[in-house]
Amino acid sequence: MNAEYVIIGAGSAGCAIAYRLAKAGKDVLVIEHGGTDAGPFIQMPAALSYPMNMKTYDWGFQTEPEPHLDNRKLATPRGKVIGGSSSINGMVYVRGHAKDFDHWADMGAQGWAYADVLPYYKRMEHWHAGLHGGDPAWRGKDGPLHVTRGPRRNPLVKAFVEAGKQAGYQATDDYNGEQQEGFGPFDATIYLGRRWSAANAYLRPAQKTGNCRVTRAFARRVIIEDGRATGVEVSRRGVTEVITASKEVIIAASAINSPKLLMLSGIGDAAHLAQHGIPVVADRPGVGQNLQDHLELYIQQAATKPVTLFTYWKLFWKALIGAQWLFGKRGLGTSNHFESAAFVRSKAGVEYPDIQFHFLPIAIRYDGKVAAEGHGFQAHVGPMRSASRGAVTLKSGDPDVAPEIRFNYMSDPKDWEDFRTCIRLTREVFAQEAFAPFRGHEIQPGAAVESDDALDDFIREHAESAYHPCGTCRMGAADDPLAVVDPECRVIGVEGLRVADSSIFPRITNGNLNAPSIMVGEKASDHILGLDPLARANEAPWIHPDWQTKQR
C-alpha cells in the first residue's frame, strides 16, 4: 500500500487534513486503529457518556499515580474510532481566547497569532446560531464543520446565565466571537440532531472525492531512511507491513500517541531512547514533554423542583428518548445538554478569562452515574492555565505497550489557590436570586466544606480531568532545542514528516480543545500544500476595560 500522503490518525486534525489534501487532488491514505463510528452511542448527542467509557471506542489510557491527588490514577480517554476524540467528546465548541494564540506566537510559533488563525476558524465553520445573537462577521458560514446551539428550554440553563449577571459578570451572546468573557449560550458540534464529528464533517466528504482511502491498522513506527520519512510500519490483521509515502507522513494521533510514535521512530530524548534500545534519528528532548490538561470539579446543588434531567433517567424515558432520536432525530437526544457556559477572570489583574464553567441541568458524573440525591444541577469548573506540566514517556520499545502518562496535576502551588477560587465563585453564582426557585442544599462539596484545608482535601479527592491533553510535541522556532515541530508543523531534524494535532500546542487554550485541534489540521494542510496562508484578520477581541482593577 502506498500514497503520496499518509496520515496517522482519523481524528479531529487528521480528518481536516485528509479533506483539504483530497480536495486539492492529492492521493491520501489515512491509518486508523479504531473501527466504525456508526451507531447511536456515538451519533446521538445525549449518549455522550457512553462512548468515552467503552473499550471499543477508547484507547483506555490512564495516568500513573498522581502524587498531588492522593496517588489516584486518572482516566485519559482518547478516541480509538473513526473521527478520533471528536467521536467520543462532549461536542462542546470553543475556539479559545484570542490571547491564547498571541501567546503561541510569542513562544516561537510564528504565524499562529490570533490574526493568523481566525481566518482558519472562519473557513472551517458553518455557524447556525446567528439568529440567536452574536456577530456573524466573526463566524464562518459555509465551512464543513456545522456549529449549532441547543434548544435551551430548561429553566435552569437560563437561570445560570441570569445568576451570572446578578453576580456582576458580563453576559456574552457569543464567546467564540468578539467577547469570550461572560455568561452565555454554549456552541456545539451538533447538526440535524446528530454529532457532527470530524468524520462526518471532513473524512466522509474526503472519501467521496475518490482521492482519500482509510485503512484500519495499528501504526507501530514511522520508517525513516537517510533522514527522511518514507512510510509507516503497521500491524494489519495480525501481519506487520509497511505503507509507503512518496511525499510526506503526517502524524495526527493525539497528544498521547503522537509523541509515542515519534519516540518509537527514533525521535526524542537520546538518553530516553537509548534506555529502550531505540536507535536515535533526531535528538529532540522536547518530545513527550510539556504535557498539559484542564482539571475540573463538579459543584453540585440539589434542586427543589423536578425540572432537571433526572426525570428522564428511568429506563422508560431513556427508551422513549432513544426512539424519538432514532426515528426522527428529535427530542432530548439531540442535545449534549451543555447549553450554558461562562468564562470569567479569577481576580483583578488577570487580563482575560482563566476559569471556565460548563453548566448541566442534572447532577451526574462523566461515567453516567447520577447523584444519589435525585434532582440536582451542577457546574463543571476549573482553571484554564495551570503552570503544572507533565510528560508522556515510553514504558517499553514495544509499540503494543501503552506509554507512561504523568500529568503532574496540581504540582504548582497556584493551582490550589485557583481551584479554591473556582469553588467559591461557583457557590456565589448558585446563591443568586435566579436560582432561588430551584435551589436546595449543596450536594458537593457540601456546605460544611469551607476552610482552605477542607477545600484542598475535596480537590485532592474529586478533581477530574476535563480530557484536554495537549502540548507534547510543542511547536516553536526551528532553533529552539525543546521545540519538536517548526511553525509549518515539520518535525525538526527529519524531512517529510509533520505532526498536526493538539500535541503541537505550545500552551493549552481556553476551553475545550476540539475546535483548535481541527483548526490546526486546517492550517497545517495549507503548509503541506505549499499554499500562502489565508490573509490575516483585523478584528480586535474585547478585553474588559477595567481588568487591571476589577475581577468582574
- Tell me if 416 sits within 8 A of 380, measured CB to CB: no
The set of catalytic residues is 468
Residue 449 is placed in which grid cell?
466544606
Beta bridge partners, 28, equal 5, 212
CA angle 107, 110, 116 (to 5 degrees): 115
CA angle 125, 128, 133 (to 5 degrees): 110
Report the alpha-carbon distance of residue 402 to residue 422 in Å, rounded: 34
Within a 13 Å sphere around the CA of 367, how many CA atoms are in the beta-carbon half? Answer: 7
Report the alpha-carbon distance of residue 4 to residue 489 in Å, rounded: 18
Report the alpha-carbon distance of residue 95 to residue 77 in Å, rounded: 21
Burial letters 455-473, b for 16+ CB under 10 A, else e: bbebbbeebbbbbbbbbbb
Beta bridge partners, 356, equal 343, 382
Phi, psi dihedrals of residue 523, rounded to the nearest 5°: -70, -40
- The reply, when asked if residue 200 is annotated as ligand binding, is no
What counts of helices (H) and strands (E) characterise the chain?
13, 24
Q: Which amino acid is at 124?
A: M
If one counts every other C-beta atom within 10 angstroms of the C-beta of residue 279, the result is 9
Q: What is the DSSP letter of 199?
A: I
Q: What is the DSSP letter of 132?
A: G
Report the alpha-carbon distance of residue 81 to residue 199 in Å, rounded: 10
CA angle 292, 295, 297 (to 5 degrees): 180
Residue 61 is placed in which grid cell?
489510557
- The reply, when asked if residue 90 is annotated as ligand binding, is yes
- Tell me if 352 sits within 8 A of 542, measured CB to CB: no
- The reply, when asked if residue 81 is annotated as ligand binding, is yes
Question: Which residues are annotated binding-site positions?
Answer: 81, 89-92
Question: Which residues are annotated binding-site positions for FAD?
Answer: 81, 89-92
